Structure 1
Amino acid sequence: MRLARLTLAAAALLLVTTVTVPSGTPSDQAERHAALSSDTVQPRGAAPRPAVQRTRHETPFGAFVGSWDNYIPNIRRMAQWLNGANMQVGHTYLAGNGWADVEGDPVVLGLWSQWRLADPSRKLVLGVPMLVPNEGNLPDGEVAKLLARGNRGEFDLHFLKLARKLVAFGGGDTVLTLGWEMNGITYSSRCRPDPAAWKAYWRRIVTVMRSVPGQHFRFDFDPTRGLDAIPWTRCYPGDDVVDIIGMDSYDQPAGGTFDEYVSEPYGLQDQVEFAAKRGKQVSYPEWGLFDNGDNPEFVRRMVDWMRTHDTAYQTVTDYCPHGFWECDRNPRSSAVFKQLMSGSKGEPSPWSVPWSPPWGSAPAPGH
C-alpha cells in the first residue's frame, strides 16, 4: 500500500511543478481591516460578556505522536490503549530549517493526507512556520527584517507550493496552525518584534494559500496561554483570515493552579470570550503537563474545560514530560487521562466544510 500511495503522490506532484504567485496579492491589508483586529481584551465585568459555556459533549481529539510519516501507526496504537477511542485528529509539524521544509516533504504530506482521507470524520492539523530558520535563536531585529521581506512577497512562492501539494495529496481541508505560539520568544515566527508587520504577513500568507483552487483550509490562530512576551490580542490579524482561535495550554508555571490558568490575563477565559464575540470555535493544539510533575487534577480540569466549551478539536502533546501514553513519568495523570478518554467516539461529523479530493475517492489506507 505504501508504494501505491507514493505512486499516487508522485502523480499528484505534476499539479504543483509549475507555480506562480497570484497577481494582486496584498501586502498592506492590515490597515484596510483594522476594525477586524483587537489589541485588547475587554476588562472583566464589562457588559455584555458572551455566553461561552456549553452542555458537556465529546470533542474531536488526537495527540501529537511524532512528525514524520512513520509515526502515523502510533495513532492507532494509542487509540487501542484507550480501549478503541476514535482519535479523529492527527497533528504534525513542518520542520523550519529552510524554505524547502515549509514547502513540505511530499512523502510526509502525502501519507498524512492519506491517513486523513481514510475516514471522513478525521482532521489533519499541520503546524506551519512563517519564517526560517524557525528555531534559529534569531534576534528581534533580524526577525523584523524577515517580516518586512515577507510583506514584500519574497516568500509567497513557498506557501503557494505547500498549498498546492496539500490539495494534490488530499489534504485540502487541513487545519493550519500558522506561526504557532507567536506571542512567545521560542520561534522566529513570532510577533513581538513588529506586531503590525506580523499581522500583515499572516494576512498575506492566508491570501496566497486560499488562492489555490480546491482548498478548504482552516487557519488556527494559536498563541500560548497567558501574557508571555506580548499580549496575543496584539497579534490577532483579523476575523476574515482566522477560522479557529487556539491556545497551547501546559501545566505551568510551577505552583500554578487551574483556576489561575482560567482567570489570568490572556488565559483560558479570555480566549473563549474573545472567540465567542467573533463567532469562532476554540482549539487546544498543544496541551499537557510541564512544571508541576504528575498532576492528575490538571488533566481532569483541562478535559472538562474542553468538553464544556465550543472546542473544535484538542491534541495532547504525548511525549515526556507532557504526555500520558509514551511517557512513563506521569502514572497518576495517565490513569486519569485513560479513564476520561477511553472509548470516546468523538463527534460523528465534527467538520463544517465537507471536502473530497479532486481526484475522487481515497485509495485504500495502509496505516
Structure 2
Amino acid sequence: MPEMPVNLNLPEVKMTGFKGAVAGVVSCMAMLSSLEASALPLTGVYRGEVYSQPNLINAYSEWLGHNVTMGQGHQAKDSWANIENPTWQLQSWGNWVRAQPGRRLNYSVSMFPSGQGSLADCAAGIYDFRFRALANNMVAHGLQNSIIRLGWEFSGSWMPWYSGNGKQASFAGCFRRIVTAMRGAQPSAGFKFDWNPNYDIATADLAATYPGDAYVDYIGFDLYDQGWNGRYPVPSGCTGSCQLERWQNNWNVQFAPALSKFRTFAQSHNKPLSVPEWGVNDASTTGGGDNTFFVKQMLAFIFDPANNVGYHSYFDCQAGDGHHQLSDGDNNGGHSFQTEFPNAAAVFKTQHAALTHPPPSTGTPTAATATVSAAPVTRGAAFQVASSVTAPSATTVVVKYEIRSATTRELVSEKAYTSQAFTAGQTRAYSTSFVIPTSWPAGTYRVDTLVFSADWSKTLHYRNDTLFTAN
C-alpha cells in the first residue's frame, strides 16, 4: 500500500557492520528462550486475493517449512453485496479453514463501499444491519474465530474510510458500531477485531481514532521497507557496507521510532500488537530491495516477548504498487516462482525457523508427544492427557500441561508439577485428568507441554503438536 514520507528527528541506534545487524536477532532469541513459548506470535501470510484457491497458502507453508494456519483475505470495496455476503470469498475460505484443525482467517473488512457511504452515517448506526448480516454469513461458512481487520489502513488517504481531515471521532464511532453489531449478531463466534492504521500515523491520531479497549482485541500496524528523503532507492554502486549503512539509517530514522510508538500505545491499553502486513520492497517503488537487515529487525521485533505481538502476516505477493514476494510459490500452488529478493528470503526462512523451533540446549529435558485418551473429547466430561519427560542430566524442573483453543490460543485449563527431580537419563511419565467446560465452544483444542527450570525463570522445552476435537 502507498505510504507517505515522514520526517522524524530522533536519535539513531548506531550499528557496526554485519555483526551489529545480527546482534538484535541473537538477543531476541536469548530472551525468547527464557519466556513461555506458548506466547509465540501466530504466523500468517497474504498470498494475493486467492479466495478461489487459498491452497496457495499451503505452498507457502511448504516453502517456509512451517505449518501456516492463518490466511489473509481482503474484502472488495465496490458494493454492499461484497461486504455483507461475498459468498464467492467466504465459501472458499471456509473450506480452507475447515480442512485442517487450528486454521483461521485474517479478514480485512470494508466499512462501506467507495463512494457509497460515510463514517458519520456508519457511526450513527445506519449500516448496523449490514454487519449483522456479515457476521451471520461468516458463521454460516465456518469462519468463527476470524481476526477482523476492520477498516484496515484507515490512516491512509487512499482508503474510503480515511480518518483524517477531522473525521477521527467519526471513525472511532463507526468502529464501535460495527463491532457491536457483529458481536450482537453472533455473540459466540469468537471474532477478534484488529484496529489497524499504518505505521506512520501521527501520535495524536492514535488517541483520537482509538474506539476504546472494549472494542479492540489487537492494535496493528502495516509496514513496508520503503524510504524517503533520498535514503532509498540504494544507488546501484552502493554495495556491502555502503548498502548496509543505507538500510540501517532508514530503519533508525523511519521505522524504529514508529515501532516504539506502537509498543508504548499498546502497552498503555494492555492490548497485544499485530503486524497484519509487512514486507521488503523493490527499488523501483522506493524500496530497499533485497534488504536482509530489514527482515532481521522485523522478526526480532515480532518475536521479542517484550513487544507482545499476537500475530504477523507477511505480504507475499507482487502487488501493483510494490513487489514483496519471498517464497517460491506460483499461482498454481507449485514452486516455480523465482524471487527478486533471494538473500532476504533465505534470512526470513532461517530466522523464522530459529525463532519458532529453537534447538534444545545440550542436556535440556525433552517431552514426548502428548496423547489424549478420548477421541473425540466430550465437553463437560473428563479425559486424560499423558506424556513423558526425559532428562539427559540430573536436574530439577517444573512440568506443565496447558489445554488451549487451537484457533484463539486462549487457555482453558492447566496443570503444573513442581519440583520434579530427575537423575541423569531418567524418563518420568505424567498423566493428568482435564475437563473442557461446556461454556467453551465445540471445536479443535491442543495440548501444550512445557518444561521450566525449577524457579520458573526459563522455558527449557515446549511443544504444542497434539490437537484434538471436543464435541
- Give the shorter-chain TM-score range: 0.7 to 0.9
The aligned residue for residue 331 of structure 1 is 342
Aligned pairs for 1:68-87 within 5 A: 68-83=50-65, 85-87=66-68
The aligned residue for residue 222 of structure 1 is 196
Q: Given the superposition, is the C-alpha separation of residues 167 and 78 from structure 1 closer, same or farther in structure 2, using an over 3 Å criterion?
A: same
The aligned residue for residue 122 of structure 1 is 103
1:219 counterpart SS class = strand
One-letter amino acid of the counterpart of residue 352, structure 1: E
User: 1:169 Cα deviation (Å)?
Assistant: 1.6
The aligned residue for residue 308 of structure 2 is 310
**CA separation in 2, counterparts of 1:277 and 1:90?**
29
Aligned pairs for 1:97-112 within 5 A: 97-112=78-93
Deviation by residue 1:308-365 (Cα, 9 ceiling, x = unmatched):
02111111001131221156221111111122234856999562276546xxxx99xx
Q: Is 1:66 paired with 2:124? A: no
State the superposition RMSD in angstroms: 3.0
The aligned residue for residue 274 of structure 2 is 283
Q: Given the superposition, is the C-alpha separation of residues 128 and 72 from structure 1 closer, same or farther in structure 2, using an over 3 Å criterion?
A: same
**CA separation in 1, counterparts of 2:346 and 2:206?**
34
Contact 2:203–2:261 under 8 Å retained in 1: no
Q: Is 1:243 paired with 2:222? A: no
Q: Given the superposition, is the C-alpha separation of residues 316 and 62 from structure 1 closer, same or farther in structure 2, using an over 3 Å criterion?
A: same
Equivalent residue in structure 2 for 1:209, among 162, 168, 182: 182
**CA separation in 2, counterparts of 1:71 and 1:345?**
29
Equivalent residue in structure 1 for 2:259, among 239, 243, 268: 268
Larger Rg belongs to: 2
**CA separation in 1, counterparts of 2:50 and 2:134?**
16
User: 1:98 Cα deviation (Å)?
Assistant: 0.8
One-letter amino acid of the counterpart of residue 260, structure 1: V
Contact 2:124–2:174 under 8 Å retained in 1: no
**CA separation in 1, counterparts of 2:205 and 2:224?**
17
Q: Is 1:187 paired with 2:159? A: yes
Contact 2:51–2:93 under 8 Å retained in 1: yes
- TM-score, normalised on structure 1? 0.73
The aligned residue for residue 5 of structure 1 is none
Equivalent residue in structure 1 for 2:138, among 160, 166, 172: 166
Contact 1:95–1:101 under 8 Å retained in 2: yes
One-letter amino acid of the counterpart of residue 99, structure 1: W
The aligned residue for residue 252 of structure 2 is 259
Deviation by residue 1:150-178 (Cα, 9 ceiling, x = unmatched):
23332222211110011122112111000
Structure 2 residues not aligned, in runs of 5+: 1-10, 12-27, 232-248, 282-286, 330-337, 359-403, 412-439, 444-467
The aligned residue for residue 423 of structure 2 is none
**CA separation in 2, counterparts of 1:192 and 1:115?**
37
Contact 1:131–1:188 under 8 Å retained in 2: yes
One-letter amino acid of the counterpart of residue 337, structure 1: F
**CA separation in 1, counterparts of 2:104 and 2:252?**
30
Deviation by residue 1:69-107 (Cα, 9 ceiling, x = unmatched):
333111111111123x12121111111111111113224
Q: Is 1:341 paired with 2:329? A: no
2:158 counterpart SS class = coil
Q: Given the superposition, is the C-alpha separation of residues 289 and 258 from structure 1 closer, same or farther in structure 2, using an over 3 Å criterion?
A: same
The aligned residue for residue 26 of structure 1 is none
User: 1:147 Cα deviation (Å)?
Assistant: 1.6
The aligned residue for residue 294 of structure 1 is 290
**CA separation in 2, counterparts of 1:204 and 1:331?**
45
Deviation by residue 1:24-45 (Cα, 9 ceiling, x = unmatched):
xxxxxxxxxxxxxxxxxxxx9x
1:177 counterpart SS class = strand
The aligned residue for residue 384 of structure 2 is none
The structure where helix makes up a greater share of residues is: 1
Q: Is 1:351 paired with 2:409? A: yes
One-letter amino acid of the counterpart of residue 319, structure 1: C
One-letter amino acid of the counterpart of residue 276, structure 2: P
**CA separation in 1, counterparts of 2:54 and 2:98?**
13
**CA separation in 2, counterparts of 1:191 and 1:121?**
34
% identical equivalent positions:
28
Q: Given the superposition, is the C-alpha separation of residues 177 and 79 from structure 1 closer, same or farther in structure 2, using an over 3 Å criterion?
A: same
**CA separation in 1, counterparts of 2:173 and 2:268?**
22
User: 1:233 Cα deviation (Å)?
Assistant: 3.0
**CA separation in 1, counterparts of 2:442 and 2:209?**
33
**CA separation in 2, counterparts of 1:323 and 1:229?**
31
Structure 1 residues not aligned, in runs of 5+: 1-43, 45-52
How many residue pairs are counted as aligned between the two chains? Answer: 297
More displaced stretch, 203-212 vs 119-128? 119-128
2:143 counterpart SS class = coil
One-letter amino acid of the counterpart of residue 157, structure 2: I
Q: Compare relative contact order (CA 8 Å, sep 6+) and give the higher one, 1 or 2.
A: 1
User: 1:111 Cα deviation (Å)?
Assistant: 2.5
**CA separation in 2, counterparts of 1:356 and 1:170?**
12
More displaced stretch, 199-208 vs 223-232? 223-232
